[in-house]
Amino acid sequence: MAVSLFARLKLRVLRNGFRGKPARVVMFVLSLFFGVWFGGGGCLALIASMQPAYPELTALVPAFAGALLVLGWLFGPLLWFGVDETLTPAKFALLPIPRRTLIGGLLTAALIGVPVAATLLATAGLVVGTAIGYGVLPALVSALGVVVGLLMCVALSRSVTSAFANLLGSRRVRDLAAIGLALLAALLGPAQIFGISALSRADFSRLERFADILGWTPLAAPWSASVSAAHGDYLAAIGKIGIGAVTTALLLWWWSATIERAMLGATDASGPRRAAGSAAPVARLFGRLRWIPATAEGTMVVREARYWWRDTRRRANLITFAVLGVFLPVLVNLGSSPAGLVGDDADFQALPDNPAIHTATMVFVGVLGAIAMANQFGFDGTAYALHLATGVPGRREVRSRIIGYSVYIVPLIVVISILVTVLAGKPSEVPARIGTLLGAYGVSLAACVLVSVYGAYALPETSNPFAVNTGGGLAKSLLALVAMIGSVALSSPLILAAALTGKLWTWLALPVGLAYGLGAVWLGVTIGGDAVDRRGPELLVAVTPRG
């Protein structure tokens, strides 16, 4: 009774969230589409894996798919999707609800959502596959396992995020956690490539043994039960379901223990008070950047540079680029040469000797370098009101932001270029690489500045680094993608020039790239700056978060 109240509350909150917000409806429909897409795909794959005709698939797929699913539920909310804050425990803090009812209710509410439906759809493939392949009784056991597995996933993600929220009591810890997670997410791409190359060389029977062991761990037990049941080993199947059930119970118990503290909300312990130095305020603001002239524009550059380091969201973007910017060219350009990173794929071996490919990767890295600027006003949020109330000229606004960001990116670009060419054993190509990178970076800066003025959107002002914007932000963030594609297109003359001029490009690239990039930046500052002058108040409205 009380539990169904929670479910109805969640549905009502979801429905009211759509009212008058077409962007949110579009996002919901999109997420439904992706849910059906992945859920349906998983379902078909699992049905196929449970057919007696493919015993090797039956041995591997349910166990590995289950483990992946659990890992997805564990890291997904932390890394990508954010925590669904529709019904937070803190909102029930003042109501006299017994803990058991609260946990049951929140779990029920957590079961309502697209990810759960997609998971259920995918794992239902196990039941259907078992029914087709092995008959009714194994299918019933399999169904039980699927239900337990689903509950386990939801309990896992809820308890971990709840425990995490407790950990993140102070802003300092939250900032650190967000940056750590950004680093982890950025490393995921490279890790995937290593994983795939490791997998392609792995021994099949060893994998099978690994899957067998995995089937007895909470990671895959509830789904692996289907396999045991299919083989007629009901004792093992029940044992595996039991493992899942016990894990779920333990997780719920843990959740209920942490929820009490989560109900009190993350207390904002004010940071440590640090004694002031004797330096004058202006000197303190400039700090190590005292070589920048102390003019109005210089001060804006300094503030911007400080913010790229002090603001967590910005720093996370910087770190992501630093990791990707180094890994991408290394992987593509070095191919299989030093440590067989990418395996013995013939395509990869053909790549390194083609100068156009070198140029293309450099262009891509350069374009990527400026993407963090695409919602630069969103990072500041309503703090932009200070610039608007002071009447900062638009071109100065845009120019200072570009310089402040480039304080980090340009040295990074130079380092990346040198690193890649030295690793490839072609130090003579350093100027060409730097030139191409800078040219592409300049073009991308110009495009991103325009997007940042015309397509600004508000970022949530919550202190939770995992909270996501469920509004129209996602739709507008697609604009960054458009800017990226446009920048690559506009940088393509550099690739073309590299292909046409051949050897000559080694010497032409640096001056040509530099001029191309600076020209683009000048254009971006002129057009974007004048747009800021015209649309200042509208820009402020766009970056103001709504209730």
Partner 1 sequence: MTALALHGLVKRFDQKVAVAGLDLDVPTGSFFGLLGPNGAGKTTTLSMAVGLLRPDQGTAEVLGHDVWVDPVRAKALLGVMPDGVRLFDRLDGAELLAYTGMLRGMDRAVVDQRAKELLDVLALADAGRTLVIDYSAGMKKKIALACALLHAPRLLVLDEPFEAVDPVSGSLIRDILQRYVQGGGTVIFSSHVMEVVERLCSHVAIMADGRIRTVGPLEQVTGGRELEDVFVEVVGGRIATGEELQWL
**Residue among 8 and 172 whose Cβ is closer to partner 1:** 172
Interface pick for partner 1 out of 4, 16, 192, 295 (rule CB under 8 A): 295
**By rule CB under 8 A, what count of residues binds partner 1?**
44
Decide: is 294 part of the binding site for partner 1 (CB under 8 A).
Answer: yes
Interface pick for partner 1 out of 131, 364, 380, 521 (rule CB under 8 A): 380
Give the shortest CB-281-to-partner 1 separation in angstroms.
4
The b/e string for 228-257 (b: 16+ C-beta within 10 A; e otherwise) is bbbeeeeebbbebbebbbebbeebbebbbe
Distance CA 31, CA 84 (A): 14
Decide: is 179 part of the binding site for partner 1 (CB under 8 A).
Answer: no
Give the shortest CB-537-to-partner 1 separation in angstroms.
4
Decide: is 132 part of the binding site for partner 1 (CB under 8 A).
Answer: no
x-or-dash pattern for partner 1, window 451-480, by CB under 8 A?
----------x-------------------
Distance CA 519, CA 399 (A): 13
Q: DSSP 3-state assignment of 263? A: helix
Decide: is 270 part of the binding site for partner 1 (CB under 8 A).
Answer: yes
Decide: is 303 part of the binding site for partner 1 (CB under 8 A).
Answer: yes
Decide: is 277 part of the binding site for partner 1 (CB under 8 A).
Answer: yes
Q: Spell out the SS3 assignment of 302-371.
A: HHHHHHHHHCHHHHHHHHHHHHHHHHHHHHHHHCCCCCCCCCCCHHHHHCCCCHHHHHHHHHHHHHHHHH
Interface pick for partner 1 out of 22, 180, 338, 537 (rule CB under 8 A): 537
Give the shortest CB-470-to-partner 1 separation in angstroms.
20
Do the beta carbons of residue 62 and residue 141 sit within 8 Å?
A: no
Give the shortest CB-429-to-partner 1 separation in angstroms.
40
Give the shortest CB-88-to-partner 1 separation in angstroms.
22
The overall longest dimension of the chain from CA atoms, in Å, is 81
Interface pick for partner 1 out of 390, 427, 503, 546 (rule CB under 8 A): 390
Decide: is 310 part of the binding site for partner 1 (CB under 8 A).
Answer: yes
CA distances (Å), origin 474, targets 194, 280, 344:
30, 43, 39
Decide: is 285 part of the binding site for partner 1 (CB under 8 A).
Answer: yes
DSSP letter for each residue of 488-516: HHHHHHHHHHHHHHGGGHHHHHHHHHHHH
Place of tokens 């539920």: 73
Distance CA 81, CA 75 (A): 9
Interface pick for partner 1 out of 6, 134, 164, 307 (rule CB under 8 A): 307
Place of tokens 């040469």: 337
Decide: is 185 part of the binding site for partner 1 (CB under 8 A).
Answer: no
Decide: is 280 part of the binding site for partner 1 (CB under 8 A).
Answer: yes
Under the rule (CB under 8 A), what is the footprint of partner 1?
A: 171, 270-277, 280-285, 294-296, 298-300, 303, 306-307, 310-311, 380-383, 385-392, 461, 536-538, 540-541
